[in-house]
């Protein structure tokens, strides 16, 4: 790949900005200064240094967002803010969310630009774990718990797949599901004559929402978290 293109991909600057940096001798590749913007470099192995910071090219990038309420899981919408308004603007046309959350649901959203992985993790055959913190209107009894865990009728052809309920207190539970039907958790709780008052996703495919991320904040996934996603 041309060096100026690579620097652009690394978000060091626009194509014209990085050309200037290169010709001014501000960029080194594997320890040597390179001054020709069209110099071909091996993007897989090149170690780029600029202003004392090291950069390596990664084909795919992954971000987690702590989604606030009132935000749509979509790439664009003319009226309502979307998750892409909270993420770096250069991700808008390249990155996609691994599954959706309702507008009023908060918590973990993961976006990435490996379309094949997104597709694979969303396939109904792939039973990727999704864990939610659910605030409910009233306590669950033992029958409700069994029904939710063994499969509940939410008006689809089949009952929901097995799930796991963990009681936190009378009004809060963890519910782990492996499917992603429309409004699934709200419909499951309705089916046992309850109601969801608040819903927050806290993990997806083995990756947990970082407790240090405030609502609306994002960060890149660590290498370990990326590995975990691919292990699904
Ligand atoms: N289940 C729901 O009802 N809503 C969500 O946003 C996610 C799961």
Give tens-digit pLDDT for 68-104.
999 999 988 888 999 999 999 889 889 999 999 999 9
Confirm or reject: Cβ of 163 under 6 Å from ligand 1: no
Cβ(101) – ligand 1 distance below 6 Å: yes
Question: Among the options 102, 114, 144, 193, which is catalytic?
Answer: 102
> CB-hemisphere CA count at 13 Å for 181?
16
The mean predicted confidence, pLDDT, of the chain is 95
Q: Is the CB of 130 under 6 A from ligand 1?
A: no
Protein residue with least CA distance to atom 3, ligand 1: 183
Specify whether domain 62-123+215-230 bears CATH 3.30.70.580.
Answer: yes
pTM: 0.85
**Architecture of the domain defined by 129-204:** 2-Layer Sandwich (3.30)
Burial class (CB in 10 A: 0-12, 13-18, 19+), 102: middle
| Active-site residue flag, 223 | no
Domain boundaries along the sequence of the chain: 3-56, 62-123+215-230, 129-204
Q: Judge whether 3-56 and 129-204 match in fold.
A: no
- If you take atom 4 of ligand 1, which residue's CA is the nearest one? 183
Regions of the chain with pLDDT less than 70: none
What is the model's pLDDT at position 129? Answer: 95
Q: How far does the centroid of ligand 1 lie from the alpha carbon of residue 57, in Å?
A: 35
pLDDT number for residue 58: 87
Q: What is the DSSP string of 44-62?
A: TT--EEETTEEE---S--E
Q: Which atom of ligand 1 is nearest to the CA of 101?
A: 6
Ligand 1 centroid – CA 183 distance (Å): 4
Of 58, 63, 60, residue with least CA distance to 210: 63
Give the architecture (CATH level 2) of 3-56: Roll (3.10)
| Helix orientation angle between 184-191 and 142-150, rounded to the nearest 10 degrees | 140
The pLDDT value recorded for residue 17 is 96
Site to substitute for ligand 1 among 186, 201, 209, most atoms within 8 A of C-beta: 186
pLDDT at residue 220, rounded to an integer: 95
Query: What is the number of the ligand 1 atom nearest to the C-alpha of 105?
Result: 6
From the CB of 204, is ligand 1 less than 6 Å away?
A: no
């Amino acid at each position: 790949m041309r060096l100026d293109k690579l620097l652009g991909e690394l978000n060091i600057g626009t194509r014209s900005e990085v050309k200037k940096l290169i010709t001014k001798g501000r960029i080194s590749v594997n320890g040597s200064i390179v001054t020709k913007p069209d110099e071909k470099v091996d993007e897989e192995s090149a170690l780029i240094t600029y202003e004392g910071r090291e950069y390596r090219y990664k084909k795919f990038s992954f971000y987690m967002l702590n989604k606030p309420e009132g935000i749509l899981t979509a790439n664009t919408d003319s009226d309502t803010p979307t998750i892409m308004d909270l993420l770096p603007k250069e991700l808008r046309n390249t990155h996609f969310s691994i599954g959706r959350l309702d507008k009023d649901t908060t918590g973990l959203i993961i976006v990435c630009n490996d379309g094949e992985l997104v597709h694979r993790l969303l396939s109904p055959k792939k039973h990727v774990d999704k864990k939610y913190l659910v605030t409910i209107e009233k306590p669950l009894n033992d029958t409700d718990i069994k029904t939710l865990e063994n499969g509940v009728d939410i008006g689809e052809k089949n009952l929901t797949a097995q799930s796991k309920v963990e009681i936190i207190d009378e009004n809060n539970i963890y519910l782990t599901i492996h499917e992603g039907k429309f409004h699934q958790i709200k419909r499951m709780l309705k089916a046992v004559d309850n109601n969801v008052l608040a819903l927050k996703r806290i993990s997806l495919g083995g990756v947990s929402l970082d407790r240090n991320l405030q609502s609306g904040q994002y960060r890149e996934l660590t290498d370990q978290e990326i590995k975990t996603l691919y292990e699904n």
